[in-house]
Chain A
Amino acid sequence: MSLQPYRDKRTALADAVSLVPDGAMVALGGGLSARLPMALVRELVRQRRRGLHLVGSAHSIDVDMLVAVGAVRRCEESYVGFEQDLGLAPAYRRAAEAGAIEVAESCCATILAQLRASEMGLPFLPVRGVRGSGIAALHPEYAEITCPFTGETLVAVPALRPDVALLHAPSGDRYGNLHLDQPYVLDERFASASGMVIATVDEISSPEEVAAAGVTIPGHLVATVTEVPFGAHPSSCYPRYAYDHAHLREYVSAAQAGPDDLDKYLATYVHGTEEGYREAVGAAQLGALSTWSQSTAAWKEIFA
């Protein structure tokens, strides 16, 4: 497949997400509470996508919300939850316990090796570990191989080539050049291992500004770019905004309480537009998340 040409790739959010078919293998960028592609996730919910196979490292509300609305067939992350902060992921947990989703829990370095195989055009790469872990039993596609040079037994893991990677960056240009703050997590690997990259950015800047900030993911790996302010909210997108602890708690409480409360959450925040989402969250709350850089006290206040 050729690289993406350098042309204006600005695309409306709904049009970008319509490129994700039902049943697609979807890589989710960011991780835990940082830079999750939430505007793209919310649009997948609006478009009632079904049968998705999600892959990623450690994730939280992005996976949980897609599972909650029945969009997911198979989960292949290394972790889904809200750390000690807000605990287990309610919808993911419920679906896994009911057998409503396939849980192919994976491991960070294994996923990394699988993505690198795809990037290199190789059918597999070998990894250490995994043998003896129950994780191996969740992956009948793994195979043990003998190294032809040392004779040691290693685990061959097949190339992982997501159909689509959904990424969010603080800034990018109209050609799809993206600037990210660390941690990049697996975003760079997803960008070159996946069939297509659909990106949102908090702000579209000039190519000169993005080049000056530093291009993390080049436009020739990106198919579409959409400007969505607070597109990672309620996760963080530094240096622009910290994560929204109160909003995450609201989501987790609703998802824990059950379908009625979750429907209420979705009706309030998701089943409209991104403009509506920002209005529902409120300018004051969003603004407060950007005060982190003023002082340590202001930063701590966000987490209090």
Chain B
Amino acid sequence: MSTISTAASSELASEHARYGQGYVAAPVFGNPDAAKARQLFVIAAGAPSDVERCQPIFDALGQQTFRVGSAPATANLIKLAGNAMSAATLEILGEVLALARKRGLDPQEFLAILTGTMFGSRVHRIYGDKIAGQQYAVGGFVFPLALKDIRLALNEAESAGVPMPSVSVVRDRLITGIARGYSELDWSALGLLAAEEAGLTFEPADAHS
């Protein structure tokens, strides 16, 4: 269920096969709140009989399972692509919310318009709220873990001959965050970096106004 590279997943699959064991890759989408509420999305790949055997576990921890074939690495590729997309989304959320703040707009009202019109995804709503409120909680999906996933995603992209320039920018942003001492902050603090770049100061909203 870990977020690992396709190469590591394939190696695990072949090692387990060598010992007569099954291996199912089943990374999940969803944050710790979703995990607690059994609202995770499971992306599962492996031999059909092995996935079937694991299905009761997936049902106990998530709301939906997507079966994506018999090659475990496929599930890991999808997870890494999703995390790259989340990271790039956090970056652009940080940038537009910095613009809103700089021009004196209420970040929450601004965000409500975006999420209520064209940008209603979970990532926009959940992380947009954290960035608008400048609630970059300690101990969430911390920068070093996010950087690890983005590094793996960019490795996959390079292997496939696919440039991902916007994801590369986010990789550098994460390195910046770690260099500035934000290693303990959730990756929504990409919004903090965007605000700092705009000359804005850190002014967290009262824990939910």
Instruction: Answer yes or no: are A and B bound together in one complex.
Output: no
Q: Which residues of A line the B interface, CB within 8 A?
A: none
